[in-house]
Amino acid sequence: MSQSQSVLHLQDQTIDANKQGEALSEDLVQSKKGQDSGKKYYIETYGCQMNFNDSEIVASILAGEGFSATQSSEEADLLLINTCSIRENAEQRVRQRLKQLQPIKKQKPEAQIGVLGCMAERLKSKFLEEEKLVDLVVGPDAYRDIPSLVREAETGDKGVNVLLSREETYADINPVRLDSNGVSAFISIMRGCDNMCSFCVVPFTRGRERSRNPESIVAEAQYLVDHGYKEVTLLGQNVDSYLWFGGGPKKEYKNLTDEEKTQSVDFAGLLEKAAKVSPDLRVRFSTSHPKDITEDVMHVMNKYDNICKYIHLPVQSGNTRILNLMNRGYSREWYLDKVAKIKEIIPDCGISSDIISGFCDETEEEHQDTLSLMEKVRYDMAYMFNYSERPGTLAAKKYTDNVDKDTKKRRLQEIISLQHQHGYESNLQDIGKTFTVLVEGYSKKSNEQMRGRNSQNKMIVFPQHDFQPGDYVDVKVDECTSATLIGHAV
């Protein structure tokens, strides 16, 4: 599908939230492409998977207004940058990119440049007043307003909406799959975050947590299956706190009434519903929180073959005092107990993590605790970063970023080196094993090789034998690198 094709909306976008999934499941969904406006949009996305899914929602909204997609920024009438505020270097990249787009604006004055997402929420005044780089500033909960904001900007005003919502989930919008391989897709199951980790800006840029109607999620998964997709990833800042009980403000499960409990769906229940859509549909999810992941989720994962045996379980630090400063809600021992339970219930489960080096006040001994935890867990893969202070967060207000850059850099390199070793050793253990691989496309290095991932989220490369994206292929592993398994089809 092209970016501007197969855009789906409910016939009535004002339909009550409790009926959204029912309407979708009853096929009250139709192709809706707005009358061609002759205008083109161009969108770039930075940051997490949630941002990419948001860009797909924006593409759907714009296509409904008659915009068509273009891969060329010079051709566009509307240039959108979907932004990330999680680290300082991400924001610097976006600023630099906005400056690079200014010559287009000079050559084509009627073109509009917009910033979407987390940076829009956090830095709206800077963009509009100090740097004057953009015409539109749109927060994560205001994407429905983009068409009206574009019209407002055409009059010479700035189009701005960064209001956060306690209700918006975009459940009635079927995203346009941008840059899709036709095999894998993201499904957003919730928005926002209530955890308030001291280092994280997400609760301030994406608002409070709210879950999406499970019927609308299942209907979107079914639509993807019907259109040839073989894998979905259920997305949320903290999927384990997903909870739907027919609408209303979010509560913890223990605080629900008996009637609400009978009507409720938690993440384990949602995961099972997704698995039942089709046995040929692989189901992944991201991200889990160590304090919230339940044994019910683990048992559902173990029960269904098509739920991938992989959990991304960010630890951030291996030291309990630092975890307390981070407001993570668990201790080192709690985390290790969770990992042990995962390995007990799902013996073949792949586990990855996020790790931050040099958080405020971190001592050398506390850094060593992170390395020792890595030795105990032995992650298959990890995302590893230096601590980057984000304005407005609890850490920025309460703590001093007092670990010098050279120390952060050295500690991060030690973490990276150890993880490189663990990743390689984990892959060595897979030599001789056979895995079912979902083919995603050609290898990045050669069209004579195909690539795909196994259930544990490991990338496997193998010779092309007329395989096509979307095929399931059994591959025996012959060798490996630290990042990739190499094998042949059997």
Report how far residue 40's alpha carbon sits from residue 80's, in angstroms, rounded to the nearest whole number: 11
Which pTM value belongs to this model?
Answer: 0.84
- Proportion of the chain above pLDDT 90, given as a percent: 66
Looking at the chain, how many residues does it have?
A: 490
pLDDT band at residue 121 using 50, 70 and 90 as cut-offs: confident
What DSSP state is assigned to residue 292?
T
80-115 per-position pLDDT tens digit:
999 887 667 777 888 888 889 999 988 998 999 999
pLDDT digits (tens, 9 = 90+) for 178-188: 767 899 999 99
pLDDT > 90? residue 376: yes
Whole-number average pLDDT of the chain: 87
CATH for the stretch 434-489:
2.40.50.110
> What are the residue ranges spanned by the domains of the chain?
34-161, 434-489
Instruction: Give me the CATH topology for the region 34-161.
Output: Rossmann fold (3.40.50)
Q: Does position 154 have pLDDT exceeding 80, yes or no?
A: yes
**Per-residue pLDDT tens digits for 407-432:** 999 999 999 999 999 999 999 999 99
What confidence tens digit (pLDDT) does each residue in 50-89 have? 888 899 999 999 999 999 999 999 999 999 999 887 667 7
pLDDT bracket for residue 34 (50, 70, 90): low
Sheet with 29-31, strands from edge to edge, namely: 29-31, 8-10, 173-174
Helix, strand, or coil (residue 310): strand
What is residue 248's predicted lDDT score, i.e. its pLDDT?
52
What does DSSP say about strands 350-357 and 381-386: parallel, antiparallel, or unpaired? parallel
The fraction of the chain above a pLDDT of 70, given in percent, is: 89
Angle between helices 295-303 and 267-275 (to 10 degrees): 10
Q: Which residue has the tokens 């706190």?
A: 241
Contact 215, 27 (CB under 8 A): no
Q: Among 7-11, 163-167, 263-267, name the most confident range.
A: 263-267
